[in-house]
Amino acid sequence: MKTQCRRKYTIFHDIIRNRASYLMGLPAILYALIFGYFTYPYMIIAFQKFNYRTGLLNSEFVGFKNFEFFFRSSQVFTITLNTIWLNLLFITFTTLAALALALMFNELRNRYFIRINQAMIMFPNYLSWVVVSFMIYSLFSTNYGLINQILSVLGSKPIAWYNNADYWPAILTIMRVWKGAGINSVIYMATIAGIDSTYVEAAVIDGAKRWQICRYITLPLLMPTVSILTLLSIGGILYGDFGMIYAIVGDNGILLRTTDVIDTYVFRALRRIGDPSNAMAIGLFQSLVGFIMVYGSNALAKKLNPDAALY
Amino acid sequence: MKVKVSPWNILIGFVIMLFAIFCMLPMVLTLMVSITSEDAVRQYGYQLIPKEFSLYAYKLIFHRDSSVMRAYAVTVSATLIGTVLATTITVLCAYLLHNKNVRYRNHLALFFFVTMIFNAGLVPWYMMCRTLGLTNNYLALIIPSLVFSPFNMFLVRNFMNSIPDSIRESATMDGAGDFLIVFRIYFPLCSSVIATIALFYGLGYWNNWFSAIMLIDDTKMYPLQYTLMRLQSQINMIAEMQRTYGRTLYDMTPPTETVKMATAVVTIGPIVLLYPFLQRFFVKGIIVGAVKG
């Protein structure tokens, strides 16, 4: 508006006019300020030799020393690679399993059968990784585990699963699929339910078999959803699943070679070793690169399908 | 239209059933071990069918002074208080971003977006909690990291945006203030999406051990999940010591195998009880969240 007689409508006017609404939003705004924006200055710790006693303002600045130490050690390479590799495994196999489940459920017509099986398949999703780690232990424990019992029945030697790091990417991937495939398949089933039924009807009239309907109609129409969800999860590839990996692997040093990810490393540096500066250095690296990737993947997803992007 | 059952369908049904059994198997194993006697476990290992039935583990857990019962009380209260608080904060803020009278609502949305996509990480979060004194008290289990999630807020806001604005306008015309409108009109109209986010938060609080491992040192305040986790690592530690020293350390009898599994079962309990409810609203939220956040 060009009229100069009215003063500019600023946020203060807005707050006064809608004070009740703003009052309602206040707790959330404060929360986002405190646990969002006000945490950003603490990232300076990465350039300091941080001391809990003197605090953020009076700790000694050391420039890029923390990064130097950190990029010179081979550890950073290992944990970054582990994070990416494990996430790639998780994304690939969870997506494939969820897709397969959705397509298979789509073929079935008996509602009760679908309901019961779906309820069973989705149950693990609600469990915490701590509980899951107990289940893994009951399967893989060297002395008592079910799998070693089966191995001994089959005549082979028991395997010390918890003493060999090479098995764990596979075990973690299997448990990931076990926990997440059900809930992910629901998203694909919702997409399938949204497919225009005239496509299928036309194909049936043309004499298409069910396999052909699945291959040439359902799957292609499902692909946009699949690619966007995959894209979004690739955006988060630098963020390791701390809740999962720490609950399962814990402080078992033998398994760290293949399972240590950025998030568990940061946790150990901060809480076990007590070196916030080192933890923050890799944390900063993860935050910056991770942000670019999340932002980029979202922008790309938005380009592919304006409705689908997360933000 | 009656579809006749083809061999193809039977095969698919069979594969799905196999996967469903694969999903339930670890749970069943845990349950079965928890009701086996300790001796049988030590002798035969974990078995799907108990060789010797015993409820001793549960007796130990439900003992009056057991740490598990204490942790249970901590978790139940944190979950109840936290969920009510988190849901209220989220819905109220969603209304602020939905209200068409608020002209800066899109700026505010951006304000929340930024915290969603740029995360400073663990160390700043931890330092902030220390600065605020959120360590070693019950508030530390409730406030940091869980009490408000912008993602859930946008879920509610999008649902509110689908409600015709004329309802709010006519209520305003009749002299209703914003608080009255939210509590008398929006809460009932949004009940399904509120149930969904309440479940998200509730499950988050119930399964939360991250706050405890980061912020709590006092064993009395440990929530259930973290107690469970410590049980596991204590056992690992003792096993490692035994490997190192080649003998059992006196005075350190490890928590028994069955007690571990019984604790896990007790932890799952409420999830099983709420399961039909969970399925209904949780799934709805996942679909809406994934298809359009």
Question: Of the ranges A51-55, A294-298, B26-30, B246-250, which one carries the lowest mean pLDDT score?
Answer: B246-250
CB A214: neighbour CB atoms within 10 A? 17
Check whether A268 has a pLDDT greater than 60.
yes
Chain A CB within 8 Å of residue B138 CB: no
Q: What is the mean pLDDT of residues A97-116?
A: 90
Q: What was the pLDDT predicted at A301?
A: 81
Tell whether the model's pLDDT for residue A13 goes beyond 70: yes
Between CA B184 and CA B188 the distance in angstroms is 7
Q: Is residue A45 part of a domain?
A: no
- Tokens representing residue B250 in the block: 């006196």
Chain A nearest-CA distance from B144, in A, is 8
Q: Does B127 touch chain A (CB under 8 A)?
A: yes
* Span B111-143, pLDDT tens digits: 998 888 888 888 999 999 988 988 888 988 998
In degrees, to the nearest 5, what angle opens at C-alpha A64 toward C-alphas A63 and A67?
Answer: 150
Asked whether the predicted pLDDT for residue A207 surpasses 90, the reply is no
**Non-local CB neighbours of B12 within 8 Å, separated by 6+ positions:** A104, A107, A108
pLDDT value at residue B250: 44
Smallest Cα distance from B81 to chain A, Å: 16
Query: pLDDT value at position B3?
Result: 54
Distance CA A112, CA A116 (A): 6
CATH number for position A195? 1.10.3720.10
Among the residue ranges A245-254, B23-32, B39-48, B249-258, the one predicted with the least confidence is B249-258
Distance from CA of A211 to the nearest CA of B (A): 10
- Asked if residue A194 is part of any domain, the answer here is yes
Q: Say if A234 falls within a structural domain.
A: yes
User: What per-residue confidence (pLDDT) applies to A34?
Assistant: 92
What's the pLDDT score for residue B85?
94
What is the residue-averaged pLDDT of chain B?
84
Residue B230 pLDDT > 70:
yes
Residue A36 belongs to a domain: no
For residue A16, tell me if it sits in a domain.
Answer: no
Asked if the model's pLDDT at residue B1 lies above 50, the reply is no
pLDDT in tens, B163-196: 888 998 899 899 888 899 999 999 999 988 999 9
* List of chain A residues whose C-beta atoms are within 8 Å of the C-beta of residue B24: 120, 123
Q: Exposed e or buried b for every residue in B71-100, given b needs 16+ CB within 10 A? A: bbebbeebbebbbebbbbbbbbbbbbbbbe
- Cα A241 to Cα A262: distance, rounded to the nearest angstrom: 9
**Residues of B with Cβ-Cβ distance to A267 under 8 angstroms:** 122
pLDDT in the model for residue B202: 92
Write out the two tokens for B143: 């406030």
- For an interface test with B, the pick among A93, A122, A134, A135 (most B C-beta atoms closer than 10 Å) comes out as A134
Q: Cα separations (Å) of A54 from A51, A59, A60, A284?
A: 6, 6, 9, 22
In a mutational test of the A interface, the residue from B43, B127, B190 whose CB has the highest number of chain A CBs within 10 Å is B127
Domains in chain A, number: 1
Q: Cite the beta strand spans of chain A per DSSP E.
A: 48-49, 60-61
Q: Does pLDDT of A283 surpass 60?
A: yes
Q: Which residue range is the domain that position A204 belongs to?
A: 72-304
Are residues B46 and A141, on separate chains, in Cβ contact within 8 Å? yes
pLDDT for position B65:
67
3-state secondary structure of B247: coil
B206–chain A Cβ distance below 8 A for any pair: yes
| Residue A55 in domain | no
> Range with the lowest mean pLDDT among A157-171, A261-275, B244-258?
B244-258
pLDDT at position A119 over 80: yes
In eight-state DSSP terms, residue B50 is -
Chain-chain contact of A190 with B203 (C-beta, under 8 angstroms) = no
Band (B51; pLDDT cuts 50, 70, 90): confident
The answer as to whether A23 is a domain residue is no
For the ranges A65-74, A195-204, B251-260, the lowest mean pLDDT is seen at B251-260
Q: How far are the Cα atoms of A8, A192, B105, B274 from residue A12, in angstroms, in the given order?
A: 10, 47, 13, 45
Q: Set out the domains of chain B in order of their start, with CATH numbers.
A: 65-291 (1.10.3720.10)
* CB pairs < 8 Å spanning A and B: 279
Residue A14 lies in a domain: no
pLDDT band at B291; cut points 50, 70, 90: low
pLDDT tens digit sequence for A55-102: 777 777 787 877 887 777 778 888 899 999 999 999 999 999 999 999
Residue B239, pLDDT score: 58
Q: In whole angstroms, give the CA distance from residue B149 to residue B32.
A: 38
Over residues A124-180, the pLDDT tens digits come to 999 999 999 888 888 888 777 888 888 888 888 888 888 888 889 999 999 999 999
pLDDT > 70? residue B252:
no
> By percentage, how much of chain B surpasses pLDDT 70?
88
pLDDT band at A1 (very low <50, low <70, confident <90, very high): very low
DSSP annotation of A49: E
Distances (CA, A) of B268 to A122, A125, B275: 14, 12, 11
Top pLDDT among B34 and B241 is at B34
**Residue B160: which of B185, B143, B131, B140 has the closest Cα?**
B185
Chain B positions touching A271 (Cβ under 8 A) are 213-214
CA distances A75 to A86, A88, A245, A246, A256, Å, are 16, 20, 17, 18, 11
pLDDT of B293 reads 39
Of A131-140, A191-200, B104-113, B235-244, the one with minimum mean pLDDT is B235-244
Distance (Å, whole) CA B241 – CA B245: 6
Can you tell me the mean pLDDT for A207-218? 86
Name the least confident of A20-34, A49-63, A98-112, B63-77: A49-63
What residue type is B260 in one-letter code? Answer: K
